[in-house]
Structure 1
Amino acid sequence: MSTQTKETLNKQTVDMVKATIPLLQSHGETITRCFYKNMFESHPELKNMFNQTNQRAGKQPKALANAVLAAAVHIENLEAITPVVRQIAQKHRSLQVKPEQYPIVGQHLLGAIKEVLGDVATEDVLQAWAEAYGAIANVFIEVEREMYSEARDQLGGWEGYRKFKVVRKEEESREITSFYLQPADEEAFAAFKPGQYITVRADIPGEAYTHVRQYSLSGNPDKDYYRISVKREEAKDKGEAGKVSMWLHTAVQAGDVIELTAPAGEFVFNPSSSQPVVFISGGVGLTPLVSMLHGVRKLQPERKVTYIHAARNGSVHALKEEMYVPGVNTHVIYSEPSEKDRELGNFEKEGYLDLSWLKQVAQKDAEFYFCGPAGFMKTVYQSLKAWGVSDEQLHYEFFGPAAQLDG
């Protein structure tokens, strides 16, 4: 990727882009909020592809601002952000972002830069960013073209959305329900790597636009179905309920048909390592890790495995039986255990995960996979770094737009 950028961008352009880094640091989110507002006004059909809840909460503009800043910082060597590029490209492929949509994004991104920065955004600055955006867009288009081909050409693969029947719906906890899915056409369907996700497209009665959401595949990759385990996101503190999760929980029943894109995602289990492995999940963050747990028990039955899960209490603890399997050292933390939890003794630690406790139950030389709410992720990451665990040992992914773990 860096070779393509160097061939495309001259030194003057690179210098001009790098000179805008302080402006992006101070005005980045204002620019991206302006960008989304203007783009959706001009192209309302794109609302069918974007999570509008994340838009209103400001999560998506912040994530885009971080991505634009990272591209500017590494404009001479985009290989430095290859993992981020691939992660975003996987989401784009899953959402069916196509090459013809990149010029629309570029037009409104440049327009937002001009609108927010005013006279500071000279013609030279805008021209430099136009060239830089073109080079970066080409990188994404090429990476995504390969991903589309891989998804389509694999055994049982497909492109676009495919109809799947809900063959079973099962309540896993007070908040989480699993949906077992098989192709409506009863033909073969693509295998997935433990940790990957699918995109669900929902046409909800009364909604002006379709809604798309990405859900981790929580099941065993060897089964003849996909399984997603979805948390019901109810309205809290004047916020709005999760439209798609509520639709799945209340409207979708066994026998119904929903539409999915092929499995995607870079947060996958690596079976080539022989190091001990530690899975750490918080709440519904257990979904990709339970799938990974199934994978490691099949592929590497002799590998030392520790599973740590944090939840409020037993009533919201889903898939518990799948965590307690032979050969796995399982530890459960409840922050608000009920009297029934205490009577049953079905948790080990009350409160929250901390480094001193983590040192007692996990090995420092392990590979760590963790997933959960942003605050939980930050605690896990900072605890592991304080312990001296290297970046190479850490594997994680956010649900929704990424946030900062080290800030």
Structure 2
Amino acid sequence: MRAKRFGIFGLGLYAFIFLACSNSSDQAGIEIGNPEIQAHSFEAHFVVDYGAKPKNGFAKMASESDSVLVDDLSLSLWRLSAYSSYYIYVGFDLAEGLTLWPEYAVEAPMKIAFAEDENGRDDWKAAFGDIEIDGSGYLKEIGAHFSPVAEQPQMTGSLKIAGSYVPFTFSFAGLDSLEVRYLQNQLDVADNGALSLTVRFCVAEWVNDLPMTAAAMDGDTIRFDALHNSILWDSLTVRFARAFSAAHHLAYFSNGNTEDDFDDSVLSRYDIIDSNWVSNGNFADNRNWILVNQLGGFADTSLADNSMTVNVTQAGTNSYSVQLIHEDIPLIQGRRYKLIFTAFADSATQITVRLGSYNTYHTEALQRHVQMETIWKSYEFEYIAYVDDLFARLEFNLGKHRNRYQIKDVKIFRID
């Protein structure tokens, strides 16, 4: 199999990419509790689905009851990407993801005809069936990057009007490109551990509640473009990327607008008041916590009485030279949250507590400089999320000073 591997250089603030004090030349962070990650083989399928927006399972085929039928939906596939967090040096931009396909630039783009997927076409199996996702990262999403086919920039199909189907065309002139991203739990997993991505275009999601039967005819065809049925065309263009079965999409429109959104049904799972989003915040064991040593910092950890001790023996040059990190903290833009933790230090020292992106390292909600005391003290901070992000990192930045810290009872709640 073709395996996509990593280099030893990358760029980014708060990343694990600097020269660091570590036991391994290619490792800037020490994982203290995460499960072992296995490399996975991978394949992809592309289908038109006439059912409700699914997470997985089989696509619903067209029936006589469907008011809109798609005859030809073709897009140019430019890239398949894996988005993961890493605690090693990497040779690519984490925000751009790891390229799974193409292996060589000349292989892209590939024309994907969604309506032609019958149990997976042989050319797709040849292109995508021998990819291996390297096991060095913690997979968050798989993304497929598309653009309209230059020589065929429209979708064709038929629309039921007064009981009869009438041909329609939908112009892609309003859409430059899109990326649809699937969460790890949206991938199908075979018995042998192979991952399968099924990219579905959900027709019902695209046209639901739009007055399609009110569209005007142009001769014997209904056209949706800038000159014909332009109001409906605008709506269909905006809805196009949202109609895929992905949890997360990015759309780039011809007018210069962009859209980067999670599916509402996905966000609603995390839009809950009073749920604690810190897994293992009572430190029952090492699960879900990661210690990072970099930029001359070094610390080790131990557990006792449901608390984590971090003993910083080499301070490093920055507060983030030593980090205790919890991944996958959900943020919903505009929602108010509260972080609570209890801690003390052997000597009174300032630390930095932050919630930021795992791949751009930008602060996405909270950043506070906290004066630690030499007795147990409970700290509470309220904050509002700047963005939607299901994968934010809670960081306790403990570097820059030699010290010993104990932390327990870490909780994050949405409070309104």
Q: TM-score range by the shorter chain?
A: under 0.3
**TM-score, length of structure 1 as denominator length:** 0.24
- The structure that is strand-richer by fraction is 2
More RCO (CA 8 Å, sep 6+) = 2
**TM-score, length of structure 2 as denominator length:** 0.23
- The structure that is helix-richer by fraction is 1
